[in-house]
Structure 1
């Protein structure tokens, strides 16, 4: 419901991320007169912190190069273990087929390099040194250039993963949806606090920036963790599953629309496709919110009957609002196919307005819950121990010793207040 390319965060392709990464490398390389190979290794070593790399290069360039494995490493030639490792491969007959880093003399064949790179992928390792376990010489792009195209692609993926996962200078993260290649970048730290609970990727997946789980407003990340690890009532789980199915149905509707547009790209103009897509995406997000309100109800209204009733009332309104919006969306979209200019203009206005109204409704719905449903003033009577009863009209918590609602009777003696007092007396629980 929030966020797009012009909003608090951007959704980037992997190529766009590579361009940002290469610019960062080029800038350091040009300013401090180090090769792009060395700049790449330094960034991986210092977790892509441009300020830190700049400071270390300015303070003691030689020391930093040595620490990061970019200085020549002395090799004990009496130790021929590296020769034994490489002689296990039949892919070479002499040293002409062996490859080493520029900073050491440990030579390995291409087959051994491939096996080494594959082993690093399984370890989820991004900083790469010489395959010899006792050697600290860094493996940079210059070394990989001597290998196969497949090895180059594998190494590039290592660098990109390091840039995304280890970067301390950017707020950037891979979309957690399976098989999604998009990357999310927040522009400011304050935006993460405000919009991080509901990040919308171009693949259609919505997730929480903090815990990488699916978007779970209005509950906290801790609520999600507790929900997934706690046994709850069957009735609550049933409501959760029912709303989960409704959300998945909305996802299927979006996918069906995308498939239809691929098959018949001329059925709607690009502007109209975007409007319908936004509406279908909004339905998914709203269904997702309703799903997580089950968790909110379980954790936040367990001992507050009035708030629980009010939440259920709000949920009913939200569900009815979505059903009405879905009907409008389907009807308006149906009229837009192959329509004339007048009908299209009306369609765009009606659907855009309806989408905005639903988005605003759910924004305030979520905020009401996150604020703790403060409109319902439920309090216990602090001076008397034991349970209390709730006034049906003002929801104030009264002691069992009170025969009338203290809140309703305290401030006014008007007829309306008297009627409230009389009515509340009859509701006192026995």
Structure 2
């Protein structure tokens, strides 16, 4: 069977020197099918088996053939294939009995509703569907094995296409294409790194090429260097680019640190750099203010939580206990936060913290205490009313 590997009809673009080609998804699928048909013809095996072998050997045609002709039984054992090719080409092992028990759900089914790999372990169609769908979702679908524990029998793509759900078949096809591009040892394929671009680049130059320019251009107009992945940088070589990028990064860090030192001062409490370029010289640290705002918000939530708890039906004891447990944990966490904030604020007061900040924080502190007192009053009122919580 003759196969022309360069005969794909929708090549998007080629450079004048033909050192790369831009491939669409249909182009990739055509190349993949050509490889599968090629191995299937040479080894006289099914296309499903050919696909399984190529996937295992990272789509390296030469390695598949060398391994197969060197030790066919070893390859079959590694990949979970049967030595009986007639079994491989069947969907389900021929079972003589008309009624069978699924080895997963243990329900009985007719022969038509039971499927198996070449090993003969019987499973119902629903269990097969769930098993295959789950493995596709987990991206464990290229070397799928029989669900029977310790069984090494392969589940090939013929079984996947017949027993998987429609959405998982689409996902499987997508994974298969990605595998062909990302793990291919037979071709130099790479996805275009531009965001939301679905094209791939087929790089045609051998490793021994003395070419210094490895720039490629995708149909999305994104140009990049195939060799290092940076933006196109001809005529500069990749080593020089790497050194230049390292120097730029270092210079940016040094420049940024120099500017921060020259134009900012660290907050005496939280040490965050602050830039002061206008207005008076009085500065307030927002760290404390934000902390106290969070405390007030927490007290407000607890207050209305008490209202929620007050209106819970008395006969729903489980819900009441769970509510009290959650509210109690929240109360403990909020008390710890408030204690920490009061402790830190006390230290700043001892160190002569500015008057404006003290008034602001003291006001927030007072509100938080009043909110907490209101919450306690609501709780005490309910207890005095004799309602069990």
TM-score by length of 1: 0.44
Task: Please state which structure has a larger fraction of its residues in helix.
Answer: 1
TM-score by length of 2: 0.48
Q: Which structure has the larger Rg over C-alpha atoms?
A: 2
